[in-house]
Amino acid sequence: MKYISTRGHLGQAAKPEFCDILLGGLAPDGGLYLPEHYPQVTRAELDAWRSLSYAELAFEILSRFITDIPADELRAICNKTYTAEVYRHARAGEKASDITPVHWLEEGRLGLLELSNGPTLAFKDMAMQLLGNLFEYVLEKRAETINILGATSGDTGSAAEYAMRGKHGVRVFMLSPHGKMSAFQRAQMYSLQDDNIFNIAVTGMFDDAQDIVKAVSNDHAFKAEYKIGAVNSINWARVAAQIVYYFKGYFAATRSNDEQIAFSVPSGNFGNICAGHIARQMGLPVARLILATNENDVLDEFFRSGVYRPRKAAETHVTSSPSMDISKASNFERFVFDLVGRDPKKVAALWAEVDAGRAFDLSGSAEFARIADFGFVSGASSHADRIATIRKVYERYGVMVDTHTADGLKVAWQCRDEVPATVPILVLETAQAVKFSETIVEALGREPERPAEMEGMEKLPQRVEVMAPDVDLVKRFISAHV
Ligand SMILES: Cc1ncc(COP(=O)(O)O)c(C=O)c1O
Ligand SMILES: N[C@@H](CCOP(=O)(O)O)C(=O)O
């Protein structure tokens, strides 16, 4: 499989393959990598995949996108990644070997697709554990090293650090918004004492941190000199790995491939739901993709109006689903590329507006007139909605959900009438409640349970550098530590 950029100017004679783009982030023209085409899944393949284990399914799907790693080696990487030992935090009574079990709230109609059973208790582990193993494989083959620069609003950071800690030839520099994440999220990252992990808390929002990552990635000389790599979902490998659980969730929630499904996805950077969009483009029978935001409702606004208006830091709310406090969604560019008929010139023109701090408006366009073909519906959730949803789900079903999953549930209920009554709706459980215990206590008056090895984590010594959100300061920090 060859890869192209959403902005169309790779400036290379040959289009890159997967291993060429794995270690980098943005394409050289500032766009995002996507496969030249989406592989189409036949009915026979769907039938054959229905009974596969998670690791086997991951291999089948990823091998459509990764054609430059020999099949037996890619299979071994998938087998090593998706094990019951790694994804061991399944709910009581569920099999960890299912990796992403479905927990029905209303049998056959409304369920949770559990994606947060990995080491850091958030869905980021689903892709990040694979990335850790892919990085190790490619770096060893090419005798290279890498310095990862990432941005996190709470979960990507810890998932990346747990996946990369102690890995030979890999350093992680992770930017987080100072004071904006939950106490658990901070402790999970900042208490790591590994020599190859560097936490930097920037005195701004997640979007400031993400802008710095993009600015460094666009400085080609610095990127080459310091071997800068990416683990955010600007990295195509993250999105590719996330496609797998949409297929797995479909097989778990339906009995035959004649059925349809809907997914409700708590969204911020548009990485998770972008994988759902691609699964649908590949032929997975997805009736609806329900996009749920928190108070930072930039994406909901777009799907309702056709106007994409990224907010400035001062307009971005600090909420109780902090990992979705995002006002400029990286992967949205991948979706818009498909929406405008994969025309890189149109994308480049639209993102020239975004990069200049302006909005774009597709409302009157022929492209937006076709938006219904993509199956999206959307809604937003507030703190009050979150608290009410956490209570309702606990009282009615005896299940404790985290604040982000609560946003997904709230919007799923709101959009329920847009999904035919025979179609199951899976809400993606993107994190475990314990990561946001302040809000759980507010809603339920009790602390969530936590894995024994995470007891007392918040009391451990923390190692973090606090810094103004300034590209040069971050570059200086990196050059001083490699
Ligand atoms: C717990 C949780 N839920 C939802 C999201 C939003 O996902 P995405 O940014 O892929 O839209 C994030 C962060 O990405 C998250 O950490
Ligand atoms: N919510 C994320 C933000 C970064 O998203 P990514 O999917 O692009 O890595 C987080 O928790 O860090």
Q: For residue range 301-317, what is the model confidence (pLDDT) as tens digits?
A: 999 999 999 999 999 99
CA 65 to chain centroid: 18
In a domain, 349, yes or no: yes
Q: Which residues form the pocket of ligand 1, taking CB atoms under 6 Å from any ligand atom? A: 122, 154-155, 233, 266-272, 323-324, 404, 430-431
Quick one: three-class SS letters along the chain?
CCEEECCCCCCCCCCCCHHHHHCCCCCCCCCCEEECCCCCCCHHHHHHHCCCCHHHHHHHHHHHHCCCCCHHHHHHHHHHHCCCCCCCCCCCCCCHHHCCCEEEEECCCEEEEECCCCCCCECHHHHHHHHHHHHHHHHHHHCCCEEEEEECCCCHHHHHHHHHCCCCCEEEEEEEECCCCCHHHHHHHHCCCCCCEEEEEECCCHHHHHHHHHHHHHCHHHHHHCCEECCCCCCHHHHHHHHHHHHHHHHHHCCCCCCCEEEEEECCCCHHHHHHHHHHHHCCCEEEEEEEECCCCHHHHHHHHCEECCCCHHHCCCCCCHHHCCCCCCCHHHHHHHHCCCCHHHHHHHHHHHHCCCCEECCCCHHHHCHHHHCEEEEECCHHHHHHHHHHHHHHHCCCCCHHHHHHHHHHHHHHHHCCCCCCEEEEECECHHHHHHHHHHHHCCCCCCCHHHCCHHHCCCCCEEECCCHHHHHHHHHHHC
Q: For residues 280 and 168, which has the higher predicted lDDT (pLDDT)? A: 280
Q: How many domains does the chain have?
A: 1
In a domain, 255, yes or no: yes
In a domain, 313, yes or no: yes
Q: Which atom of ligand 1 is nearest to the CA of 271?
A: 10
In a domain, 36, yes or no: no
Residue 321 alpha carbon to ligand 1 centre in Å: 9
Q: For residue range 383-425, what is the model confidence (pLDDT) as tens digits?
A: 999 999 999 999 999 999 999 999 999 999 999 999 999 999 9
Give yes or no: 124 in active site.
yes
Ligand 2 binding pocket mutation candidate from 269, 273, 324, 325 (most atoms within 8 A of CB): 269
CA 240 to chain centroid: 10
In a domain, 249, yes or no: yes
Q: For residue range 178-203, what is the model confidence (pLDDT) as tens digits?
A: 999 999 999 999 999 999 999 999 99
Q: Identify the weakest region by mean pLDDT among 23-32, 226-235, 284-293, 333-342.
A: 23-32
Nearest CA to ligand 2 atom 11: 155
In a domain, 79, yes or no: no
Stretch 90-101: mean pLDDT, rounded?
A: 89
Give the pLDDT band (50/70/90) at residue 23: confident
Residue type, 431: A
Q: Give me the percent of the chain exceeding a pLDDT of 70.
A: 99
Q: Which atom of ligand 1 is nearest to the CA of 116?
A: 1
Give the pLDDT band (50/70/90) at residue 13: low
Q: Which atom of ligand 2 is nearest to the CA of 330?
A: 8
Catalytic annotation, pick one of 80, 95, 124, 328 = 124
Q: For the whole prediction, is pTM greater than 0.80?
A: yes
> How far apart (Å, rounded) are the C-alpha atoms in residues 473 and 367?
41
In a domain, 203, yes or no: no
pLDDT at residue number 90: 85
In a domain, 103, yes or no: yes
Q: Ligand nearest 127 Cα, by number?
A: 2
Nearest CA to ligand 1 atom 7: 267
Any idea what the CATH number is for the domain that residue 366 is in?
3.40.50.1100
Degrees (nearest 5) of the Cα angle 246, 273, 214? 130
CA 225 to chain centroid: 28
Q: Which residues form the pocket of ligand 2, taking CB atoms under 6 Å from any ligand atom? A: 152-157, 232-233, 268-269, 271, 323, 330
Q: Are 166 and 139 in contact (CB under 8 A)?
A: no
Farthest CA pair distance, the chain: 61
Q: Which atom of ligand 1 is nearest to the CA of 267?
A: 11
pLDDT at residue number 12: 66
Structural domain boundaries, residue 109: 96-118+238-444
pLDDT at residue number 105: 98
Q: Ligand nearest 207 Cα, by number?
A: 2
pLDDT at residue number 10: 72
> How far apart (Å, rounded) are the C-alpha atoms in residues 252 and 248?
6
Ligand 2 binding pocket mutation candidate from 32, 33, 120, 124 (most atoms within 8 A of CB): 124
Ligand 1 binding pocket mutation candidate from 112, 123, 273, 330 (most atoms within 8 A of CB): 123
Q: For residue range 431-450, what is the model confidence (pLDDT) as tens digits?
A: 999 999 999 999 999 999 99
Residue 148 alpha carbon to ligand 1 centre in Å: 20
Q: Are 35 and 65 in contact (CB under 8 A)?
A: yes
Residue 114 alpha carbon to ligand 1 centre in Å: 14
Average of per-residue pLDDT values in the chain: 96
pLDDT at residue number 190: 98
The dihedral through the CA atoms of 39, 45, 48, 49 has a sign that is positive
Stretch 93-118: mean pLDDT, rounded?
A: 95
Give the pLDDT band (50/70/90) at residue 25: confident
Q: Which atom of ligand 1 is nearest to the CA of 431?
A: 1
